[in-house]
Amino acid sequence: ENLTALIQAIPKAELHLHIEGTFEPELIFALAERNNIPLKYAGVEALRKAYEFKNLQEFLDIYYQGADVLLHEQDFYDLTMAYLNRCRQENIVHTELFFDPQTHTHRGVALKTVVSGIQKALDDAREQWGITSFLIPNFLRHLSEEDAISTFKECLPFRDYFAGFGLDSSELGHPPTKFERVFRMVREEGFRVVVHAGEEGPAQNIWDSLNLLHAERIDHGVRSIDDPELLKELAKRQTPLTVCPLSNLKLKVVDDLKDHPLKKLLNAGIMATVNSDDPAYFGGYLNQNFRETAEALKLSKEEILKLAKNSFKASFLSEHEKERWI
Ligand code: ES4
Ligand code: ZN
């Protein structure tokens, strides 16, 4: 209860959040109705009941269905604004949001529609509440590298809106080695690089993300716990891991939160952070991730403060902007 108040009160940054993963069933149904799109679920409750996943793929299948009802700029605005309201409630003062361009462009929704809607919400939240943000498009790794390259080129007219690029979706069968060329292009154009790795896939995917894709942050990265050499390297380089405990529980990356490696990662000197990933699907926004993890792992007040501090250190804010929060 003591820690609950602390978690609520401390300013935090969120660095691993898919905006399509904040799509609550109530809003899915509201937008489906507004856009005259039939849904195969009878209602909000039936949809929420479908959120039982045995693995990452089962989640992704239902997550892409939800995204199908997003058509217009206003839809992307409403989705993003709902999340930013959550940020305000939870004292998240800075957020770096992912979105999946291909999920929308492949359905015939223009990239401009997506980016404008999200960006207008981010601008309004900055103006009204002082919440700062960056937007990071992610390439879908189950699609080809050629598709990622053409998507990257489509993104360049909007380049001022993007801090960097990432890689998400199905890790098994789609290793980082598949995307070396596109991330070379990303870096040559001066963008930051983040990569989902070591969620369901092995520690080797983290090595390859660091050495071949030159990732500056690893999204998830929990499988690093299997590789002592990698732990040493991550600690030495202070490469941030954006860890998502409730996501890992819901997708059965861990069987129980008590088995989650977060505390061990911190003890190994790693720059770990706590994040919500896809909160509408995984059963909790950022503060709930902090609360449940703190309880399961018996985190101390100092460890919670450290995790909040790390969220700013690991962010893409300038050193000057970080100082305001650290
Ligand atoms: C994701 Cl948890 C997770 N892993 C990989 N890709 C994703 N996209 C949205 N959530
Ligand atoms: Zn993710």
Q: Kindly state if the Cβ of 20 falls inside 6 Å of ligand 1.
A: no
Task: Report yes or no: 300 and 3 within 8 Å, Cβ to Cβ.
Answer: no
Q: What is the pLDDT of residues 61-73, one digit of tens each?
A: 999 999 999 999 9
Q: How far is the CA of 127 from the centre of ligand 2 (A)?
A: 27
pLDDT of residue 1: 64
Nearest to 251 by CA among 60, 68, 99: 60
CA distances (Å), origin 136, targets 40, 43, 159: 31, 32, 10
Domain boundaries, the chain: 2-314
- In this structure, which residues have their CB less than 5 angstroms from ion ligand 2? 277
Ligand 1: residue whose CA is nearest its atom 7: 169
| Sign of the CA dihedral with 285 first, then 197, 28, and 96 last | positive
Residues in the chain: 326
DSSP line for 270-301: --EEE--BSHHHHT--HHHHHHHHHHHHT--H
Distance 248 CA to ligand 2 centre (A): 10
200 lines ligand 1 (CB under 6 A): no
Ligand 1 atom closest to the Cα of residue 244 is 2
220 lines ligand 1 (CB under 6 A): no
Least Cα distance to 196 among 234, 257, 243, 159 occurs for: 243
Measured by CA distance, the residue closest to atom 1 of ligand 1 is: 169
22 lines ligand 1 (CB under 6 A): no
By most ligand atoms within 8 Å of CB, the mutation choice from 62, 99, 169, 220 for ligand 1 is: 169
- Known catalytic residues are 199
Q: Whose CA is nearest to atom 3 of ligand 1?
A: 169
Which ligand 1 atom minimizes the distance to the CA of 278? 10
CATH class of 2-314: alpha beta
Q: HSE-up of 80 (CA within 13 Å, CB side)? A: 28
Q: Decide: 133 and 126 in contact? Cβ < 8 Å.
A: yes
What number is the ipTM of this complex? 0.94
How does DSSP assign 93-161, residue by residue? EEEEEEE-HHHHHTTT--HHHHHHHHHHHHHHHHHHH--EEEEEEEEETTS-HHHHHHHHHHHGGGGGG
Cα–Cα dist 47/68, whole Å:
14
Considering the entire predicted model, what is its pTM? 0.98
* Residue bearing tokens 């005259």: 36
Could you identify the atom of ligand 1 that is nearest to the CA of residue 169?
6
pLDDT-flagged residues of the chain (< 70):
1
